[in-house]
Structure formats: structure tokens, C-alpha cells
Amino acid sequence: MCPPHTSCTQPQPQPPARTLTPTLPRNHPSTPHLANLNEYHDLYQESLRDPDHFWRAMATSALHWDQPFHTTRHGSLEAGDHAWFLGGRLNASYNCVDRHALATPDKPALLYEPDTPATSQARPQQITYAELLREVCRLAWVLRDLGVRKGEIVTVYMPNIPEAVVAMLACARIGAVHSVVFAGFSAPALRGRLQDARSRVILTVDEGVRGGKTVAMKRVVEDAVGGLRYGGEEADVQCKCLVVRKTGSPVPWCQQTQDAWWHEECARWPGYSAPEAMGAEDPLFLLYTSGSTGKPKGLLHATAGYLLGCAVSGKYVLDLHPADTMFCAGDVGWITGHSYSVYTPLVLGLATVLFDGTPSFPTCARYWEILARTRATHFYTAPTALRLIKKGNGNAYAAAAVHNLERLRVVASIGEPLAANVWQWCHDTLDGQVHVLDTYFQTETGCHAFAPLAGVTPTKPGYVALPFLGFNPVLLDPVSGAEIRESGTEGLLAFDQPWPSIARTVWGDHARYMQTYFAQHKGYFTTGDAAFRDRNGYFKVLGRVDDVVNVSGHRLSTGEIESALLSHGAFAEVAVVGTEDALTGQALVVFACLKNDLEDQKTKSQLRQSAQQHIAKWIGRFAVPRKVFLVDDLPKTRSGKIMRRILRKILEGEENEFGDLSTVNIPFP
């Protein structure tokens, strides 16, 4: 039954007709945490009916508290002051490292897979919990020595290497806030994020290596901080920069940063440093993500609520057990990496695989080989990577490798819908022996908001199944804002009560936080996605209703790309839209009007290319648009708003379905 305080009139979700009922996979270490779907229903309803009791029990059992909390839940979505576990004190690095280092010091915590594969017989490089503790403590000393104080933001611009995890945990240990910036961002994008956070300490590497190519990351940092000045300050910022020696190529120390080698600094300090007891609501990290406007927003997560979301979703959704090994292929620079490469496996005391490469280098067998070598039980990736492997003959490799994957039980995907055919391919390729889960979450939700529970929830390919504990989803009518109660309908996806791992604010701009998520529909958190609910209460996510585009699992704002393009100088007006792409999910397409006087200076093809290069320079190569159309005019409403909807329809070949065109200029000659 629906919880009594909600006005929901739907029947209790029942497994839809066309589902695949889970069976216990081979080699399950014990039994799933929940025995069946009824146990999920009971737990779920308790989480909504009595959140105080439910989350108090969860938080007490899942986390180590230095001081117990007195108030489980405070505030409301409407007021934007929701807070959890008040009065409680804890340390995230203690929860993720120390308690496991004490209990199982020799257990592997990190398994590292570099870009260039080792021979298939070679064991992966391992870091045990005891070693991880020492590394985290040493860096904690170094950070303190660099003057980093509680609450200060440390920027981590690193690839997927163990030091990135050490960096995050060392910040957490001393109460500093980490801001990991995806290694694919260019210097200006990094600079914008440094500036917004007013960050003065940067952790990076000499060079990154991806797909066999090196990327001069320290150079990018140097470019990002050159002449950097924070508002209200007279002089350029003097940043401190700690550099991991990864490739060993010479990197010149620069003028404006006080540079030091990571290993030299860490070697000077002892292998233990006491963790700082942090308030439950003290920030753990901020992570920049794209919104509707040009400026990325730093979403801030609170220590206890976020960690709890990781622990509870890892346990119930992924069905993680102590002997499991998690391989999440997401980058540490995005929320997937934060939650499911780092905090979930470590808070549960498991081994996590960090892979610093790409799915197709040197061949599309790479993921399968890593899974075989690390003997991983869980594989988390994006549909775009699965499509790439599928296309790149991944099934042939998988067929050859599948006998080596005897420990693999769960394959989960995130970032965009896992199409039924890809779901089926994955299921068949792995001999029907694994649970293939389509999971849904956002940087904002911190942990899963929807997912089938591994081993428990019957799967319906194409659907993200049922809401996770504590999430009460509603579908809203986009015009009236009213809740849509009928099943078999779609609407704006929102949640009507706070959950522990919800992001607490946009760094430095709480008004923007309120405006983006809570203002349009009072009393709800709006996701920015549309969703469909079938008659059995199963949900399907239909895609964004704002200007966010998802390319290969990278969340991009069309507004951000438009602002970058306008700084190019040749374009008077631009509009960027997302279009469907068989491999990357969505791809970016630019419609640009030239400034008249510039038209003759370069050929159109040169201009198209230079627009693409400009995006690579200002945002990063991963954001380069697939196509640039140079047009005479853009379709606009009478009030001058660019009608991106029409541009999207043109790309979809639906030119004849515009409806009334009296307000529109069609841009094609």
C-alpha cells in the first residue's frame, strides 16, 4: 500500500508481465540482502511512512559515529533547509578506511588498471586497506602543512588513479572539501571551477595517459591559473600545486603556483594522522555539473547523508557483500565515480577497481579482460560503453572471456536509458548468469533514486523499475504542476520528500539551488527529466526537459557551449541542441549565424572546424559538437527567444510538423 500521508492512488507495484525474474546467480557469496520483492515493499514503505525511524536505524548500523546524532531529519524541500542527523559527528575517511584497516588490514581496497594493459597473467596492482590508510594519512599531513583548513576547497584534477582516491579521502580526513574536476576539461573550464570555488590548492599529475596518448595535465593547470584573480583581491592568486609523478616526463615548475612533488612531500610525514570529527551536515565535497545556463554549478554534498546513501544503495541495489569486488568504469570526475568507484565500495569495506583508460583501447575486449583479471563481482558502466563494446565485436570477446567471469553477478548501467536490445545483448552475452540493472541517479540525488534491486526486482528492459528507499516519485503536469495520478502516463519527474543524500546547495548560490530545483513546483524536488509510469508502477526515464544534453554519459549544458562559442568572435548568434546518436546516446549539433563582416575571411569549412576546435579549447574534447551548421538566421519567437525545439525537429527530419510557423524564420537557404 502507499504510505498513508501520500495521496497516491496507485495499486502497489506488481511485477509487469514481461519481466525477467531474478534467480540466484552462480557463486553468490550468501543470499541477497533482501529475500524477495515483498521485503523491498515493506522496507520501502517504512522509509516513506516513518523516515525518522527508518533512517535512524540505517544510519546507526551503516556508519561509525564519533558522536551520535540527536535529530534524524530536519527542514523541508519547500524551505530548502533539509538537513539530516543533526548533532552527529563522524569522519568519512574513518568510515571508508580506518575501520576496515583495523578489521581487515590486508584486504585489497584498490585494484589499479592503467591505460596500457598488463599481460593477462599479471596480477593487478593492489593497495590494501592498511596501505590506503597510510597514504591517506600522509597526504592529510601534507595538506595541513600546505595550510589547508577545515571547510576549504581543494581542487583535484586527476585521472582515475589511486592517488585521486587518496586525495578525496585525505581532504575528508581533515575536513576539507574536495572538488574533483574531470580530467577531460580544458584549462578555461578548470579555471572557471577554481574561480567559483576560490580554491588555492590543486592536486594533479604530470601527465595523464588515455587510449595510449598522453595529456599534459600539469600544463593545463598552469594555463588555468595563469593570471587567475579572485574577486575582491588585489593580486593574482598564488595556488599551491601538488603533482603526482605518473609518466615521469619533465614538467617545468611554473611561476604562479608553488609546486611540489606528491611523493616527496608525502614521504616526509608519518603514516597516521587522526581524523577530524566532522558535523553530519559539514560538506564532504562539491562537484560541478551542468545546468540550463552557461555557468556550471557546484553541487554540495553533506558528509553523513551522502555516505549513508552510498552505503544503503550499495547494499540493497547492488547487493554488495564483503567479499565482492566492484569495477565501476565511471570517471572519478563525475558523480558515478564518486559514489560507485569510491565511497560505496569503501564505506562497505570492499575492493574497488580503478581503471584509467578507455573501453576500446587496445581492443573492445578491455572491460572483459579487466573483469576477468580482477575477478570482479560487479561491473558498473554507461550504456554508451556497452554499445561501443557491442559494436566493436565485444560479444565475440565476451564469449571467449565469459568463462573467466565466474564471479561476475551484477552489471549495472547509468547515465541514459539502457535500451532493451542492449540489455538483452548483455544478458545473453553473459549467459543469463548476471543481473543487468538499469539504474537512475543524478549528481543531485547522490545515490540511486530508481533501480531494480539485484537478485530481487524483476527487470523490465528499458525501465529503471521501482523507486529506491526514501524516494517518493511523482509525475507532475508540466503546465498545471498538478500531480498526475493515473498510471500509463508521463510527466515531469519529481520527488516529494527529502532523502539523506540530496545535494544541499549550489556552492555560493543558494538562490540558484532553490530556483533550479524547488521554485517551479513548490514542495517538490524536480529532476529535470520526464518519466513514464506503467500500470505496474514501473518507471521509464524519457530524458531531459531542460537544456541539458547527455553525450557518452557526460552531462553537458547547451547554454555553456553556446557561451563558449560566442566568445569565438566569428558568430553573431548560436544555438546548440542535442540530437539522437546510436553510439553516444546524444550528440551535439551547433547552428551558428556568422557576423557579416567575417564571412569572407575564411571558408565555411574552416569556420566549422575552428568552432569545433574552440569548444575543445574552452570546455574539453569530449564536448566537441558532431556537426556545425552555418545558417543565415535562427528560428525565434516574436519575443526573440531561439526555438531550439524547431531545430531539434529539423534534425529529426520532421520539418513538416512544426505547426504554426508564423512566428518563425526558417534558417535554411
Closest to ligand WT7 by CB, 407 or 555:
555
Question: What span, in angstroms and rounded, lies between the C-alpha atoms of 277 and 88?
Answer: 9
Nearest distance from residue 336's CB to ligand WT7, in Å? 5
Out of 313, 527, 536, 612, the residue judged to bind ligand WT7 by CB under 6 A: 527
Contact between 495 and ligand WT7 by CB under 6 A: the answer reads: no
- Rounded alpha-carbon distances, angstroms, from residue 281 to 89, 256, 405, 504: 9, 34, 41, 9
Question: From the list 22, 333, 458, 553, which residue makes contact with ligand WT7 (rule: CB under 6 A)?
Answer: 553
Neighbours of 312 (CB within 10 A): 26
Residue 544 C-beta: closest distance to ligand WT7, Å = 5
For ligand WT7, the binding residue among 529, 547, 560, 562 (CB under 6 A) is: 529
CA–CA gap between residue 144 and residue 150 (Å, rounded): 9
* Interface segment toward ligand WT7; rule CB under 6 A; list 168-176, 214-222, 412-420, 513-521: 412-420
Rounded to the nearest 10 degrees, the angle between the axes of helix 394-401 and helix 366-374 is 20
Residue closer to ligand WT7 (CB basis): 69 or 499: 499
Q: Which of residues 347-386 bind ligand WT7 (CB under 6 A)?
A: 382
Q: How far is the CB of 466 from ligand WT7 (least distance, A)?
A: 13
> Minimum distance between the CB of residue 665 and ligand WT7, rounded to whole angstroms?
31
Q: Per CB under 6 A, which of residues 455..494 are in contact with ligand WT7? A: 464
Given the complex with ligand WT7, which of 113 and 416 has the nearer CB atom?
416
Burial of 70 (0-12, 13-18, 19+ CB in 10 A): exposed
Residue 417 interacts with ligand WT7 (CB under 6 A)?
Answer: yes
Binder of ligand WT7 out of 40, 65, 69, 334 (CB under 6 A): 334
- The binder of ligand WT7 chosen from 341, 443, 501, 586 (CB under 6 A): 443
Beta strand segments in 331-485, E: 351-355, 378-381, 410-413, 435-438, 473-476
Q: In whole angstroms, how close is the CB of 387 to ligand WT7 at the nearest point?
A: 14
**From 72, 374, 377, 442, residue interacting with ligand WT7 (rule: CB under 6 A):** 442
Cβ-based nearer residue to ligand WT7, 339 or 612: 339
Give the Å distances, CA to CA, from 479 to 483, 484, 492, 534: 11, 11, 10, 21
Q: Note the Cα 545 to chain centre separation in Å.
A: 19
Least distance in angstroms from the C-beta of 42 to ligand WT7? 25
Site for ligand WT7 in 197-256 (CB under 6 A): none
- Stretch of 201-209, 331-339, 425-433, 504-512 contacting ligand WT7, by CB under 6 A: 331-339
C-alpha cell at 642: 531561439
- If one asks whether residue 531 binds ligand WT7 (CB under 6 A), the answer comes out as no
Q: Applying CB under 6 A, which part among 38-46, 150-158, 219-227, 414-422 lies near ligand WT7? A: 414-422
Q: Verify binding: residue 544, ligand WT7, rule CB under 6 A.
A: yes
Amino acid at the residue 179: S
d(CA 596, CA 607): 13
Q: By CB under 6 A, is residue 550 in contact with ligand WT7?
A: yes
* Whole-number Å distance between alpha carbons of 239 and 226: 10
CB of 5 to ligand WT7, least distance (A): 26
Of the residues 22, 309, 415, 578, which one makes contact with ligand WT7 according to CB under 6 A? 415
User: What is the three-class DSSP state of 296?
Assistant: coil
The interface mask with ligand WT7, positions 297-326, x = CB under 6 A, is ------------------------------
* 289 belongs to the binding site for ligand WT7 (CB under 6 A): yes
Does 440 bind ligand WT7 (CB under 6 A)? Our answer is yes
Question: Among 159, 470, 528, 537, which residue interacts with ligand WT7 (rule: CB under 6 A)?
Answer: 528
Q: Considering only 132-140, 161-169, 440-448, 472-480, which stretch makes contact with ligand WT7 by CB under 6 A?
A: 440-448
My answer on whether omega of the bond before 362 falls inside 30° of 0, hence cis, is yes
Whole-number Å distance between alpha carbons of 306 and 561: 30
CB < 8 Å & 24+ apart, contacts of 217-223: 217/157, 217/158, 217/159, 217/183, 218/243, 218/251, 219/251, 220/157, 220/186, 220/187, 220/190, 221/157, 221/187, 221/190, 221/257, 222/254, 222/256, 222/257, 223/187, 223/191
- What's the CA gap between 467 and 440, in Å, rounded? 9
Q: Which three cell numbers stand for residue 234?
A: 588585489
Based on CB atoms, which residue is closest to ligand WT7, 257 or 552? Answer: 552
* 547 touching ligand WT7, by CB under 6 A: no
C-alpha neighbours within 13 Å on the C-beta side of residue 207: 14
Q: Compare residues 167 and 414 and give the one whose CB is closer to ligand WT7.
A: 414
Least Å distance, CB 299 to ligand WT7, is 8
Work out which of 135, 281, 356, 416 binds ligand WT7, going by CB under 6 A. Answer: 416
What are the backbone dihedrals phi and psi of residue 375, each rounded to the nearest 5 degrees, phi first?
55, 45
Q: Which is nearer to ligand WT7, 283 or 330 (CB)?
A: 330
Q: Select from 438, 483, 547, 562 the one that contacts ligand WT7 (CB under 6 A).
A: 438
Q: Binding to ligand WT7 by residue 388, rule CB under 6 A?
A: no
89-90 and 108-113 as β-strands: parallel, antiparallel, unpaired?
unpaired
List beta partners, residue 257. 239
Look up cell 517538490; give the residue.
524
Beta strands in 534-652 (DSSP E): 539-544, 548-551, 554-557, 571-581, 585-594, 627-631
Report the length, in residues, of the chain: 669
Q: How far is the CB of 298 from ligand WT7 (least distance, A)?
A: 13
Provide the minimum distance between the beta carbon of 40 and ligand WT7 in the complex, in angstroms, as a whole number.
18
For the chain, the straight-line distance linking the first and the last C-alpha, in angstroms and rounded, comes to 59
C-alpha span between 637 and 642 (Å, rounded): 7
Residues that bind ligand WT7 (CB under 6 A): 289, 330, 334-336, 382, 414-417, 438-443, 464, 527-529, 541, 544, 550, 553, 555
